[in-house]
């Protein structure tokens, strides 16, 4: 019994899968009798079998649906959207019950009363609607059909008759090779049509088609048997006799009236069984097993070939060649058994689109092509969900409502097209809609409001780049959450799922014209093209799909691995590539290989590109992927294992895992250069140039202050008035040592020279050695005491003096005495009295400005000059700061009347009572325009102007306070 139910479940599942598509197609082409016949038969089979197996819930629902379908077929019921919806709902219940049976072995509980009532109501409408609409048919046919006991009785009678005749010694043999179900349906349909007076002779014609060699006498016996069965089933004997008169008597009417409507059903029962018998059901396990065996065979073959490679004269050479060929063919053959047409993944889509269209009040047309394209069933399963999700998105966000479309000059019905094709060992699936496209501006705005990017980045971003952001986690452009989509878990999951199977997804969109996604996925997951690499004598496989290129870092063309604070990078063309070492990451120990000639495999995961340092690169190889043992599954660096031709087992590295590992522990600031947020970084860290000078201790200078790094020879140093200078770019540049003294060369060796630049002036700072460039804190933490030292910071675990370049400018007499003196004094350089260092707190400056200029430039600039800077992007925030009790020494704000915030600004400052004594400097459109009338723009750059004005404003304050 169990087996029977299992078979039934398997068969019903397949049938239901097909039903969805067929019903939707049927709704569009209600006049296709073949299609309707198919649907009817499917439902009928389910009803029949479930009745036989005692699955009553299934039977009732299927029966009610069958009634309505019967109405469609007999043209007594008009195909309406509502009716099709009801049937689809019935199919859903059937599916639910089937799945319930599959899991629990019994029908799940549930009340289908409403659904059945709905179906019955539709069916009942048939009787009432059909009566007036088709007067010639109903009066005579209905009584006849009723007298015969209805369709179900006729069907049962046909079944009984066939059952009896199969056992008959004379007629039985004719049944060999005949599709009994088809025959039964044909006979029943013929009788019913005759009873309804819609067609004549269907019964006899079906019989003749099924049994061409049946004698007249035998045909009569079939009639007789059916008659007996009908009468036994309590049909009116008179009606039975009329409808099933012996063929001899009915031949003439049949010939007179060619049975046109009866003709279409004929080819079906005959042709379909042939194709149906071409396939058999094989369990997936058997195929998997077969695949494993073939993989093994491939390995043995590879081993044999390797063994015999050295002996070309071997007598085994010929047979081995044959074995080689046969194995390849076998492998291919087994692979194809796992292949399924992509339509399997699409089967549910027409139904989905239909439901979406009615839910959303849109009209949507789904066009598919290339559904016969085959791919591995495993891949198929994995792309189902992403595809469904994308269709949902297209229907919900992509396509406009009909009115909107008409207004835009498009057809009212939106179109979603889906196509699949093979392209060079991969499957390309394209999904396009002709909707409104992806609005780049709305995506930008959304990304900014979600905090994914800053407004400055949004402005700098191209439309194409902006659209790519829909793949970021937590992103949704839907203005409102609908039941369909817009919950913010979307395209990132799609991308993740597709990348998980080694695929890529690309997107292009034209606003107002639509969106197109192109997905490229591998044909199969079980065989992957990989690159075999070696590290410390261990071999690993790296999937080719994620590899961008191979780079040899042997020092030629300037390519060598460089180190920044213990992490490795490679200068590759115009970018800095973060590197990870396979050896370090896998904790391998082996002979220390010189890093100089290492190979670097450049991989890409999403938009993150990084390099993996390996010792050697072998060939590419097509490998059979085997899953990682459960016991090792927590190791995210491996995506699988495989057996190589020489029989050794190697692990397949997972680029995603590598990148995670790389980002987490091996890459300091390893985020892709493109993705780093400049504004965010600028707020907390700055680039520092670490060097040694004067003493062993490390020193650091803000990289922004260093214009160039040159090398200086002793002989180029000249002396002017006790000062050391060099000729630099046509002018004399003062050169000093880190201790502020004129340069002293102990030897003839060239020494690095930091060229500091300010306006048109240059200053050379002679150092002993350039050490590194690192990320360091922006705000100095501790005042130093040594000459030129602004603070001590910790860089890579070493205490490092952050130098104050202003001191050097002052030293060479180039620092403008007034403006630079103030911050320097506040900094507590050696010249400042120790008491004032402790007493005078750093000046606090508030900048109120909404422009990126402030955030990107002015804030860091002021911070660098030694002020504590707070940036408020609008007057409200500034007011909030005030209400929190913040006190500032100076406020910089855009107070120009042209500012969009001018009014708010004035109001905010009116309310900020405790700030009324704080000096206010007005910031005009990127220019300084002081409210107090101080205006000095004679100097070289804007930065200096601002700094000057700030320090000048603060100077009297300092004096007053100090």
Partner 1 sequence: MTTIDDTQIQGLVSIRVGGETFGVPVLSVQDVIAPVRIDIVPLAPPEVTGSLNLRGRIVTAIDIRKRMGMPAREPGASHMSVIVERSGELYALQVDDVGDVLWLAVAEQEPTPISLSPDWRAVTDGLYRLDGELMLVLNVERFLTLAPTQQLAA
- Pick 482 or 584: Cβ nearer partner 1: 584
Q: In the numeric block, which tokens belong to residue 66?
A: 């069958």
- Pick 641 or 763: Cβ nearer partner 1: 641
Stretch that binds partner 1, among 328-336, 420-428, 551-559, 627-635 (CB under 8 A): 627-635
Buried b (16+ CB within 10 A) or exposed e, 359-375: ebebbbebebebeebbb
Q: Which of 17, 246, 538, 955 binds partner 1 (CB under 8 A)?
A: 538
Stretch that binds partner 1, among 252-260, 640-648, 713-721, 904-912 (CB under 8 A): 640-648
On whether the CB atoms of residues 182 and 269 are closer than 8 A, the answer is yes
> Which residues make beta-bridge pairs with 518?
430, 506
Question: Where are the extended beta strands (E) located within 866-928?
Answer: 868-872, 890-893, 920-924, 927-928
Tell me if 299 contacts partner 1 by CB under 8 A. yes
- Pick 566 or 647: Cβ nearer partner 1: 647
Q: In the numeric block, which tokens belong to residue 894?
A: 């855009």
Cβ atoms < 10 Å from Cβ of 767: 23
- Pick 298 or 349: Cβ nearer partner 1: 298
Stretch that binds partner 1, among 386-394, 630-638, 666-674, 832-840 (CB under 8 A): 630-638
Stretch that binds partner 1, among 26-34, 492-500, 635-643, 852-860 (CB under 8 A): 635-643
Q: How far is the CB of 272 from partner 1 (least distance, A)?
A: 38
Q: In the numeric block, which tokens belong to residue 270?
A: 């005959």
On whether the CB atoms of residues 194 and 226 are closer than 8 A, the answer is no
- Pick 653 or 754: Cβ nearer partner 1: 653
Q: How far is the CB of 299 from partner 1 (least distance, A)?
A: 6
Tell me if 626 contacts partner 1 by CB under 8 A. yes
Q: Segment 557-616, which members bind partner 1 (CB under 8 A)? A: 586-588
Q: Give the orientation angle of helix 33-52 with respect to helix 2-28, to 10 degrees.
A: 160
Q: In the numeric block, which tokens belong to residue 10?
A: 């398997």
Q: What is the SS3 assignment for 919?
A: coil
Q: Which of 176, 249, 629, 664 binds partner 1 (CB under 8 A)?
A: 629
Tell me if 293 contacts partner 1 by CB under 8 A. yes
E strand or H helix at 780, and its extent? none
Q: Which of 1, 114, 176, 631 binds partner 1 (CB under 8 A)?
A: 631
- Pick 425 or 587: Cβ nearer partner 1: 587
Q: What is the SS3 assignment for 620?
A: strand
Q: How far is the CB of 632 from partner 1 (least distance, A)?
A: 6
Terminal Cα-to-Cα distance of the chain (whole angstroms): 99
- Pick 176 or 631: Cβ nearer partner 1: 631
Tell me if 726 contacts partner 1 by CB under 8 A. no
- Pick 632 or 831: Cβ nearer partner 1: 632
Sketch the per residue contact string, 658 through 697, with partner 1: x for CB under 8 A, - otherwise: ----------------------------------------
Tell me if 283 contacts partner 1 by CB under 8 A. no
Stretch that binds partner 1, among 391-399, 471-479, 638-646, 811-819 (CB under 8 A): 638-646
Stretch that binds partner 1, among 100-108, 632-640, 670-678, 690-698 (CB under 8 A): 632-640
Tell me if 306 contacts partner 1 by CB under 8 A. no
- Pick 622 or 711: Cβ nearer partner 1: 622
Tell me if 284 contacts partner 1 by CB under 8 A. no
Q: How far is the CB of 385 from partner 1 (least distance, A)?
A: 25
Closest among 869, 877, 871, 932 to 904, alpha carbons compared = 877
Q: How far is the CB of 644 from partner 1 (least distance, A)?
A: 9
Closest among 536, 564, 624, 921 to 775, alpha carbons compared = 564
Alpha helices per DSSP H over 314-439? 317-337, 343-346, 349-360, 377-393, 402-407
Tell me if 296 contacts partner 1 by CB under 8 A. yes
Question: Number of residues in contact with partner 1, rule: CB under 8 A?
Answer: 28
Q: Segment 377-406, which members bind partner 1 (CB under 8 A)? A: none
Contacts of 714-721 with C-beta under 8 Å, sequence gap 24+, read 714/745, 714/747, 714/748, 717/743, 717/745
On whether the CB atoms of residues 474 and 486 are closer than 8 A, the answer is no
Stretch that binds partner 1, among 626-634, 808-816, 830-838, 873-881 (CB under 8 A): 626-634
Tell me if 887 contacts partner 1 by CB under 8 A. no
Sketch the per residue contact string, 642 through 661, with partner 1: x for CB under 8 A, - otherwise: xx---xxxxx----------
Stretch that binds partner 1, among 295-303, 430-438, 674-682, 784-792 (CB under 8 A): 295-303
Q: How far is the CB of 288 from partner 1 (least distance, A)?
A: 10
- Pick 191 or 586: Cβ nearer partner 1: 586
Stretch that binds partner 1, among 371-379, 637-645, 742-750, 829-837 (CB under 8 A): 637-645
C-alpha radius of gyration, the chain, whole number? 42
CB half-sphere exposure, 255, CA atoms < 13 A: 6
Q: How far is the CB of 634 from partner 1 (least distance, A)?
A: 6
E strand or H helix at 490, and its extent? none
Q: In the numeric block, which tokens belong to residue 183?
A: 């025959």
Per DSSP, the residues of 578-616 read EEEEHHHHHT---S---GGGEEEEEEEETTEEEEEEESE
- Pick 586 or 725: Cβ nearer partner 1: 586
Tell me if 304 contacts partner 1 by CB under 8 A. no
Contacts of 429-432 with C-beta under 8 Å, sequence gap 24+, read 429/342, 429/383, 429/387, 429/518, 429/519, 429/520, 429/521, 430/516, 430/517, 430/518, 430/519, 431/387, 431/390, 431/391, 431/394, 431/516, 431/517, 431/519, 432/514, 432/515, 432/516, 432/517
> Which residues make beta-bridge pairs with 751?
712
Q: How far is the CB of 327 from partner 1 (least distance, A)?
A: 13
| In the block, residue with structure tokens 């009873």 | 195
Give the max Cα distance, the chain: 137
Reading across the β-sheet that carries 723-728, which strands appear in turn? Answer: 706-712, 751-758, 761-766, 731-737, 723-728, 718-720
Q: Segment 782-801, which members bind partner 1 (CB under 8 A)? A: none
Q: How far is the CB of 635 from partner 1 (least distance, A)?
A: 5
Q: Which of 632, 673, 782, 935 binds partner 1 (CB under 8 A)?
A: 632
Q: Cα 942 to the chain's mean position, in Å?
A: 46
Tell me if 630 contacts partner 1 by CB under 8 A. yes
Sketch the per residue contact string, 69 through 108, with partner 1: x for CB under 8 A, - otherwise: ----------------------------------------
Stretch that binds partner 1, among 225-233, 476-484, 596-604, 641-649 (CB under 8 A): 641-649
Q: How far is the CB of 290 from partner 1 (least distance, A)?
A: 13
> Which residues make beta-bridge pairs with 921?
892
Stretch that binds partner 1, among 246-254, 623-631, 689-697, 782-790 (CB under 8 A): 623-631
Q: Segment 338-367, which members bind partner 1 (CB under 8 A)? A: none
Question: CA-to-CA distance for 833 and 822, rounded, in angstroms?
Answer: 13
Closest among 795, 805, 796, 739 to 768, alpha carbons compared = 739
Sketch the per residue contact string, 493 through 532, with partner 1: x for CB under 8 A, - otherwise: ----------------------------------------
Query: Residues in the site for partner 1, rule: CB under 8 A?
Result: 292-293, 295-296, 299-300, 538, 586-588, 626-627, 629-632, 634-635, 637-638, 641-643, 647-651
């Amino acid at each position: 019994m169990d087996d029977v139910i299992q078979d039934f479940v398997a068969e019903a599942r397949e049938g239901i899968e097909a039903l969805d598509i067929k019903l939707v197609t049927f709704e569009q082409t209600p006049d296709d009798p073949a299609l309707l016949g198919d649907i009817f038969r499917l439902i009928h089979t389910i009803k029949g079998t479930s009745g036989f197996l005692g699955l009553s819930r299934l039977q009732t629902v299927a029966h009610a649906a069958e009634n309505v379908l019967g109405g469609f077929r007999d043209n007594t019921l008009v195909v309406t959207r509502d009716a099709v919806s009801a049937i689809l709902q019935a199919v859903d219940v059937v599916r639910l019950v089937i799945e319930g049976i599959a899991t629990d072995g019994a029908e799940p509980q549930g009340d289908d009363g409403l659904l059945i009532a709905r179906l019955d109501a539709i069916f009942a409408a048939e009787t009432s609607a059909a009566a007036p609409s088709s007067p010639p048919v109903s009066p005579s046919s209905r009584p006849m059909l009723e007298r015969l006991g209805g369709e179900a009785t006729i069907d049962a009678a046909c079944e009984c008759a066939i059952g009896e005749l199969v056992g008959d010694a004379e007629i039985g043999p004719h049944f060999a090779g005949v599709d009994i179900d088809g025959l039964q349906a044909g006979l029943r349909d013929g009788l019913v049509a005759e009873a309804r007076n819609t067609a004549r002779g269907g019964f006899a014609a079906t019989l003749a088609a099924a049994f061409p060699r049946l004698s007249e006498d035998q045909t009569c016996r079939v009639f007789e048997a059916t008659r007996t069965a009908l009468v036994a089933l309590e049909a009116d004997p008179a009606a039975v006799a009329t409808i099933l008169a012996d063929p001899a008597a009915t031949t003439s009417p049949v010939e007179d009236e060619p049975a046109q409507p009866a003709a279409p059903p004929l080819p079906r029962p005959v042709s379909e069984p042939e194709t149906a018998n071409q396939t058999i059901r094989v369990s997936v396990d058997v195929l998997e097993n077969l695949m494993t065996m073939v993989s093994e065979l491939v390995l043995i073959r590879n081993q044999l070939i390797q063994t015999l490679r050295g002996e070309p004269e071997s007598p085994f050479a010929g047979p081995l060649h044959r074995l080689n060929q046969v194995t390849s063919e076998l492998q291919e053959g087994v692979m194809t058994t796992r292949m399924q047409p992509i339509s399997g993944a699409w089967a549910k889509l027409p139904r989905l689109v239909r439901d979406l269209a009615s839910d959303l009040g849109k009209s949507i047309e789904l066009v598919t092509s290339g559904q016969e394209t085959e791919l591995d069933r495993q891949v198929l399963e994995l792309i189902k969900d992403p595809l469904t999700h994308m269709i949902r998105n297209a229907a919900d966000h992509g396509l406009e409502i009909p009115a909107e479309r008409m207004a835009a000059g498009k057809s009212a019905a939106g179109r979603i097209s889906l196509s699949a094709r093979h392209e060079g060992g991969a499957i390309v699936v394209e999904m396009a809609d002709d909707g409104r496209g992806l609005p780049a501006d709305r995506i930008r705005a959304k990304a900014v409001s979600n905090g994914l990017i800053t407004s400055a980045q949004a402005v700098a971003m191209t439309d194409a780049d902006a659209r790519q952001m829909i793949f970021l986690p937590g992103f949704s452009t839907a203005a409102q959450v609908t039941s369909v989509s817009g919950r913010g878990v979307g395209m990132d999951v799609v991308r993740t799922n597709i990348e998980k199977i080694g695929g890529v997804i690309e997107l292009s969109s034209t606003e107002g014209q639509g969106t197109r996604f192109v997905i490229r996925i591998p044909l199969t997951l079980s065989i992957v093209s990989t690159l075999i690499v070696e590290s410390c004598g261990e071999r690993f496989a790296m999937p080719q799909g994620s590899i961008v290129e191979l780079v040899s870092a042997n020092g030629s063309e300037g390519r060598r691995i460089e180190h920044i604070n213990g992490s490795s990078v490679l200068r590759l063309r115009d970018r800095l590539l973060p590197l990870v070492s396979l050896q370090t990451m896998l904790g391998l120990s082996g002979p220390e290989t010189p890093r100089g000639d290492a190979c670097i495999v450049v991989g890409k995961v999403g938009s993150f590109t990084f390099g993996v340092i390996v010792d050697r690169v072998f060939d590419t190889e097509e490998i059979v992927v085997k899953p990682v043992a459960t016991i090792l599954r927590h190791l995210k660096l491996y995506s699988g294992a495989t057996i190589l031709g020489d029989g050794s087992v190697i692990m397949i590295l997972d680029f995603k895992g590598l990148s995670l590992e790389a980002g987490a522990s091996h890459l300091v600031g390893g985020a892709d250069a493109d993705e780093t947020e400049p504004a965010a970084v600028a707020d907390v860290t700055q680039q520092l140039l670490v060097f040694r000078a004067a003493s062993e201790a490390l020193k650091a200078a803000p990289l922004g202050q260093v214009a160039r790094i040159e090398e200086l020879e002793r002989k180029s140093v000249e002396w002017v008035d006790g000062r050391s200078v060099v000729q630099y770019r046509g002018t004399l540049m003062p050169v000093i040592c880190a201790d502020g003294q004129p340069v002293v060369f102990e030897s003839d060796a060239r020494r690095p020279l930091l060229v500091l630049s300010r306006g048109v002036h240059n200053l050379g700072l002679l150092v002993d050695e350039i050490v590194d460039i690192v990320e360091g804190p922006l705000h100095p933490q501790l005042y130093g005491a040594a000459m030129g030292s602004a603070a001590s910071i910790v860089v890579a675990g070493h205490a490092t003096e952050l130098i104050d370049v202003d001191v050097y400018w002052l030293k060479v007499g180039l620092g403008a005495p007034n403006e630079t003196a103030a911050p320097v004094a506040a900094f507590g350089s050696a010249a400042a009295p120790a008491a004032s260092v402790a007493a005078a707190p750093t000046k606090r400056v508030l900048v109120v400005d909404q422009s990126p200029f402030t955030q990107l430039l002015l804030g860091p600039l002021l911070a660098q000059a030694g002020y504590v800077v707070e940036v408020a992007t609008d007057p409200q925030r500034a007011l909030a700061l005030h209400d929190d009790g913040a006190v500032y020494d100076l406020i910089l704000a855009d107070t120009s009347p042209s500012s969009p915030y001018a009014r708010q600004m004035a109001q905010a400052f009116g309310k900020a009572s405790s700030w009324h004594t704080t000096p206010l400097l007005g910031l005009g459109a990127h220019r300084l325009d002081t409210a107090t009338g101080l205006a000095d723009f004679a100097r070289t750059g804007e930065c200096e102007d601002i700094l000057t004005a700030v320090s000048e404003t603060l100077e009297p304050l300092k004096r007053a306070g100090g």
